[in-house]
Amino acid sequence: MSDQSNLALEQASTEAATLREQLNHHNYSYYSLDAPQISDGQYDQLLRRLETLEKLFPVLCSADSPTQRVGSAPLALFESVQHAVPMLSLANAFDDDELRDFERRLQTRLDDDSAITFVCEPKLDGVAVSLLYHDGVLVQGATRGDGFQGENITANVRTIKSIPLKLQGQGFPPVLEVRGEIYLPRAGFEAINAQALARGEKPFVNPRNAAAGSLRQLDSRITATRPLEMCAYSLGLAEGGNLPATHLATMSCLKAWGFLTNSLMEAVVGIEACVVYYQRLAELRPGLAYDIDGIVYKVDSFTLQETLGFVARAPRWAIARKFPAEEASTRLLDVEFQVGRTGAITPVARLEPVFVGGVTVSNATLHNEDEVQRLGLRLGDQVVVRRAGDVIPQIARVLPRLDDSLNAIANNQLKDIVFPIICPACGSELQRSEDQAVLRCTGGLVCGAQRKEAIKHFASRKALDIDGLGDKIIDQLVDAELIDTVADLFTLRVEQLSELERMASKSASNLVAAIATSRQTTLPRLLFGLGIREVGETTAKLLATHFGSLQKLQEADAETLLAVPDVGPVVAAFVEQFFSNHHHLSIIANLREAGVEWPDIQALDTQTLPLAGQVWVLTGTLASMSRGQAKAQLEALGAKVTGSVSAKTTCLVAGESAGSKLTKARSLEVKVLDEAELLVLLQGTA
527: how many CB neighbours lie within 10 A of its CB? 25
Confidence tier at 542 by pLDDT (50, 70, 90): confident
The dihedral built from the CA positions of residue 303, 309, 310 and 315, taken in this order, carries a sign that is: negative
Amino acid at 130: S
Between the alpha carbon of residue 321 and those of residues 35, 116, 273, 282, the distances in Å are: 31, 17, 13, 11
Coil, helix or strand for 229?
strand
> Which positions are catalytic?
123
Report how far residue 299's alpha carbon sits from residue 305's, in angstroms, rounded to the nearest whole number. 6
Checking if the pLDDT of 389 tops 70, the result is no
As a three-state string, the secondary structure of 88-150 is CCCEEECCHHHHHHHHHHHHHHHCCCCCCEEEEEEEECCEEEEEEEECCEEEEEEECCCCCEE
pLDDT of residue 403: 55
How does pLDDT run across 236-287, given as a tens digit for each residue?
999 988 899 999 999 999 999 999 999 999 999 999 999 999 999 999 988 8
Q: Within 13 Å, how many C-alpha atoms sit on residue 176's CB side?
A: 26
Closest CA relative to residue 427, chosen from 556, 325, 339: 339
How does pLDDT run across 597-649, given as a tens digit for each residue?
999 988 766 667 788 778 899 988 887 787 777 887 887 787 878 878 888 89
Report how far residue 257's alpha carbon sits from residue 107's, in angstroms, rounded to the nearest whole number. 34
Checking if the pLDDT of 150 tops 70, the result is yes
- Domains contained in the chain, CATH given: 3-70 (1.10.287.610), 91-322 (3.30.470.30), 326-412 (2.40.50.140), 447-517 (1.10.150.20), 523-593 (1.10.150.20), 609-685 (3.40.50.10190)
The percent of residues above 70 in pLDDT, for the chain, comes to 92
Amino acid at 216: R
360: how many CB neighbours lie within 10 A of its CB? 11
How does pLDDT run across 491-535, given as a tens digit for each residue?
999 999 998 888 888 889 999 999 999 999 999 999 999 999 889
Contact assessment for residue 648 and residue 614, using Cβ atoms and an 8 Å cutoff: no
Please give the radius of gyration of the chain, using alpha carbons only, rounded to the nearest integer. Answer: 28
pLDDT of residue 606: 61
Report how far residue 469's alpha carbon sits from residue 509's, in angstroms, rounded to the nearest whole number. 12
Report how far residue 316's alpha carbon sits from residue 91's, in angstroms, rounded to the nearest whole number. 8
| 673-679 CB contacts, 8 Å cutoff, 24+ apart | 675/105, 675/622, 675/623, 675/624, 676/105, 676/108, 676/109, 678/622, 678/630, 678/653, 679/109, 679/311, 679/316, 679/624
DSSP secondary structure code for residue 429 in this structure: B
Contact assessment for residue 66 and residue 24, using Cβ atoms and an 8 Å cutoff: yes
Report how far residue 398's alpha carbon sits from residue 247's, in angstroms, rounded to the nearest whole number. 46
How does pLDDT run across 52-76, given as a tens digit for each residue?
887 888 877 777 777 777 666 666 6
Report how far residue 314's alpha carbon sits from residue 87's, in angstroms, rounded to the nearest whole number. 9
Helix axes 186-198, 207-215, angle to 10 degrees: 70
* DSSP symbols for 288-344: SSS-EEEEEEEESBHHHHHHH-EETTEETTEEEEEPPPEEEEEEEEEEEEEE-TTSE
Helix axes 675-685, 96-110, angle to 10 degrees: 50
Checking if the pLDDT of 589 tops 90, the result is yes
Global pTM reads: 0.56
Closest CA relative to residue 103, chosen from 90, 124, 89, 117: 117
pLDDT of residue 684: 74
Confidence tier at 7 by pLDDT (50, 70, 90): low
Closest CA relative to residue 485, chosen from 511, 505, 459: 459
Amino acid at 558: A
Rounded-to-10 torsion of CA 144, 147, 148, 152: -10
How does pLDDT run across 323-372, given as a tens digit for each residue?
876 788 999 999 999 988 888 898 999 999 988 866 788 999 888 888 88
Q: Within 13 Å, how many C-alpha atoms sit on residue 38's CB side?
A: 15
Report how far residue 681's alpha carbon sits from residue 686's, in angstroms, rounded to the nearest whole number. 8
